[in-house]
Amino acid sequence: MARVLVGVKRVIDYAVKVRVKPEKNGVVTQGVKHSMNPFDEIAVEEAVKLKEKKLAGEIIAVSVGPAQSQEVIRTALAMGADRGVHVEVSAAEYELLQPVHVSKILAKLALDEKADLVILGKQAIDDDANQTAQMTAAVLDWPQGTFCNKVEKTDAGLTIVREIDGGLETIKTKIPAVLSADLRLNTPRYATLPNIMKAKKKPLKKVTPKDLGVDTSPRIEVISVEDPPVRQAGATVADVDALVAKLKAGGHI
């Protein structure tokens, strides 16, 4: 495979307690720690592993987002990607950017860059959409291997073990294809300091959705964003009998 395209999204860090804005039209992002979407670290790792096994040539890390998205591209470059493409949208546009827009952007880049494989995370942990890989495959009319647990290159293409409800499913696909990385696919490496320094010198190209001919005007309007309901206080029961009696009485524990 000559080229692998990897999608890396900048999201609020998984360890941050997300707060709803007082206007209830989104969540607070200013002054909040952001990082690469955790599933995208797994996607980058898989691409780097393919390259290390000499099964892939060049790895291109793509992020669609505001100026700060370049930080996650640099992380991907420090993990082993060769070059980056930053598709810049404003912070305001980013809030309403949907998987359909990102899919069209990634599909166009995959064709322009003559990629043989697109590897994305199974899900971005901010909007939890789980749509981009599927839609990118649809736009390209390429086969898709979603929720990858294991990926093996064969002469005919790829053999993929997928995580499905209650077990694992093995499928074969031809190349080019779109994959999405699930949690157990691999353990992503850390970017070491020397590699972070080296990554600063790797090429990073900036384009806009317009350059790629993709219209990113919002197709949704956010009506309101609410905090999840606060958990009611629990109660302690003396023993199992008391618990069973309470459950039988239909009481809340």
Q: In angstroms, what is the minimal distance from the CB of 233 to ligand AMP?
A: 34
Q: Which of 118, 107, 105, 6 is nearest to 64 (CA)?
A: 105
Neighbours of 168 (CB within 10 A): 12
Please tell me whether the peptide bond between 176 and the residue prior to it is cis, using omega within 30 degrees of 0: yes
**Residue 168: half-sphere exposure toward Cβ, Cα within 13 Å:** 11
Q: Which of residues 35, 70, 75, 132 is near ligand AMP by CB under 6 A?
A: 132
CB 120 within 8 A of CB 132: yes
In the region spanning residues 41 to 80, those forming contacts with ligand AMP, defined by CB under 6 A, are 43, 62-65
The distance between the two most distant Cα atoms of the chain, rounded to a whole number of Å, is: 69
Q: Which of residues 47, 76, 85, 102 is near ligand AMP by CB under 6 A?
A: 102
Contact map string, positions 6 to 45, toward ligand AMP, x by CB under 6 A: -xxx---------------------------x-xx--x--
Closest chain position to ligand AMP (CB):
121
Phi, psi dihedrals of residue 249, rounded to the nearest 5°? -75, 0
Question: Please, which residue, 70 or 173, has the CB nearer to ligand AMP?
Answer: 70
Q: What's the rounded Cα separation, in Å, for the pair 2 and 12?
A: 33
Among 124-132, 155-163, 185-193, 241-249, which window interacts with ligand AMP (CB under 6 A)? 124-132
Contact map string, positions 149 to 168, toward ligand AMP, x by CB under 6 A: --------------------
Question: Please, which residue, 8 or 117, has the CB nearer to ligand AMP?
Answer: 8
Instruction: Note whether 139 binds ligand AMP by CB under 6 A.
Output: no
Label each residue of 32-94 as H, E or C.
CCEEECHHHHHHHHHHHHHHHCCCCCEEEEEEEECCCHHHHHHHHHHHCCCEEEEEECCHHHH
Among 24-32, 109-117, 123-131, 206-214, which window interacts with ligand AMP (CB under 6 A)? 123-131
Q: Which of residues 36, 50, 107, 124 is near ligand AMP by CB under 6 A?
A: 124
CB 145 within 8 A of CB 161: no
Q: List the structure tokens of 38.
A: 């955790």
Q: In angstroms, what is the minimal distance from the CB of 118 to ligand AMP?
A: 9
Among 118-126, 141-149, 189-197, 220-228, which window interacts with ligand AMP (CB under 6 A)? 118-126
Residues engaged in binding ligand AMP (CB under 6 A): 7-9, 37, 39-40, 43, 62-65, 99, 102, 120-121, 123-124, 127, 129-133
